[in-house]
Amino acid sequence: MVDYTIIAFLVIIALLCIAPIWYTVAVSFSEKSAVAGGLVTWRPVQFTLSAYETLLSDGSFFRAFGVSVERVILGGGLNFILTVLMAYPLSRSSKQFKMRNIYMWFIIFTMLFSGGLIPLFLTIESYGLLDTIWALVLPGAVPVFNVILLLNFFRAIPKELDEAADMDGAGPWYKLFRIYLPLSVPALATITLFSVVGHWNSFFDGMIFMTQAENYPLQTYIQQLVVQTDISNLTTEELKMIAQMSNKTLNAAKIVISMIPILIVYPFVQRYFIHGIMLGSVKE
């Protein structure tokens, strides 16, 4: 009896969790009038693809989508390479690599302290990176937290393997690419997921570093056109009018399309990240 109560409770919570997302999907496939009339609940009413058809002809949406894909590939790739290259030397003990602790404190310091928003903005501006894809990619190029995750994972790899490789005359590059990387797939999948999702989801850098709307990545585009509405000086009646005029189905369709890449990647990496996340947390 207790078991069934618990199961029922968990099911309800899980459904509540997914319901808002499900509702948005339902809205995106419904007829405009049905949405405005408040008829849509858990399934599309008067099923139609018209919102998606309108979206297909919207060039700026797909340009923003393209900018996001570009930053994910460039930024995610750069994150991956730099994380791997930094984690390996830092996973050596300070006996093997004397300067290790100095480097370590340096990167920890950059993680704990920051100049803040304005100095970062002025720096990017002075480098002349505004309105370029590099403004979205370079400031976060070294994900320090991921470096720490991966170096902890490297340290858990048995020393004997390392010593055997030394005996056979393997150099650091060979050891990193032929021994450490192949043994670290769960950790690499986790950090790649983190960095790709982070790049796909971030909107703020696009908003401050891009002055032209045509350079916006997708999340910034959605933020500016769907989410941001200044309702400060409006009455309830006016708000109602705006709500009815605004195209809810089209906005829902935009949200759904922007979720798709995450929903595609998610099931594949899910089995890794639960294990991967524990790497950086409680240890012996």
Partner 1 sequence: MKKVVTTFDSSKIVPNQTVVKRPIIKKDRNTLHYHLMLMPGIILLFLFSIVPMFGVIIAFKDFNPGLGIFNSEWIGLENFRFLFNLPDFVTISRNTLLIAVAKIIVNLVVALCFSLLLNEVRARLFKRSVQTIIYLPHFLSWVILAGIVIDLLSVDGIINQILIFFGADPIMFLASTSWFPFIVVVSDVWKEFGFNTIIYLAALTGISPVLYESAVMDGATRWQQIRYITIPALKPTVVLLATLSLGSVLNAGFDQIFNLYNPIVYETGDIIDTYVYRAGLVNAQFELATAVGLLKSVISFFLIIISYFLASRFANYRIF
For partner 1, the binding residues in 152-211 under the rule CB under 8 A are 152, 166, 171-173, 176, 197, 200-204, 208
Task: Establish if 119 lies at the interface with partner 1 (CB under 8 A).
Answer: yes
Query: Angle CA(142)–CA(143)–CA(148) in degrees, nearest 5?
Result: 115
Does the footprint of partner 1 cover residue 130 (CB under 8 A)? Answer: no
46 counts as binding partner 1 under rule CB under 8 A: no
Residue 123 engages partner 1 in binding (rule: CB under 8 A): yes
When asked if residue 59 is in the footprint of partner 1 (CB under 8 A), the reply is: no
Question: 89-108: which residues touch partner 1 (CB under 8 A)?
Answer: 89-90, 92, 96-100, 103-104, 106-108
* Closest approach of partner 1 to the CB of residue 76, in Å: 15
Should residue 112 be labelled a site residue for partner 1 when binding is judged by CB under 8 A? Answer: yes
Minimum CB distance to partner 1 smaller for 171 or for 182: 171
Query: Least CB distance from residue 182 to partner 1, whole Å?
Result: 18
142 binds partner 1 (CB under 8 A): yes
Q: Which stretch binds partner 1 (CB under 8 A): 43-51, 57-65, 177-185, 272-280?
A: 272-280
Residue whose CB is less far from partner 1, 56 or 227 = 227
Q: At what angle do helices 59-91 and 144-155 cross, to 10 degrees?
A: 40
Task: Please count the other Cβ atoms lying within 10 Å of the Cβ belonging to residue 211.
Answer: 8
Give the residue, chosen from 110, 161, 185, 214, that forms a contact with partner 1 under the rule CB under 8 A.
Answer: 110
Show contacts with partner 1 in window 209-268 (CB under 8 A): 219-220, 222-223, 226-232, 236, 239-240, 243-244, 248, 251-252, 255, 258-259, 262, 266-267
**Other beta carbons less than 10 A from residue 55's beta carbon:** 19
Cβ 130 vs Cβ 124: under 8 Å: yes
Nearest alpha carbon to residue 80 among 182, 192, 174, 178: 192
| DSSP class of 211 | -
The set of long-range contacts for 14-23, using a CB threshold of 8 Å and a minimum separation of 24, is 21/259
Phi and psi at residue 171, to the nearest 5°: -85, 175
Identified binder of partner 1 from the candidate list 34, 74, 82, 179, rule CB under 8 A: 82
In the complex, minimum distance from the CB of residue 53 to partner 1, in angstroms, rounded to a whole number: 21
Contacting residue, 1, 57, 59, 113, with partner 1 by CB under 8 A = 113
**CB burial class (10 A; 0-12, 13-18, 19+) of residue 70?**
middle
SS3 state of residue 30: coil
Closest CA to 206 of 46, 63, 92, 93: 63
First to last CA, the chain: 38
Query: Closer to partner 1 at the Cβ: 73 or 274?
Result: 274
Q: Is 42 helix (H, G, I), strand (E, B) or coil?
A: coil
CA angle 4–6–12, rounded 5-degree value: 100
In whole angstroms, the minimum distance from the beta carbon of 181 to partner 1 comes to: 13
Q: Is 132 in the site for partner 1 (CB under 8 A)?
A: no
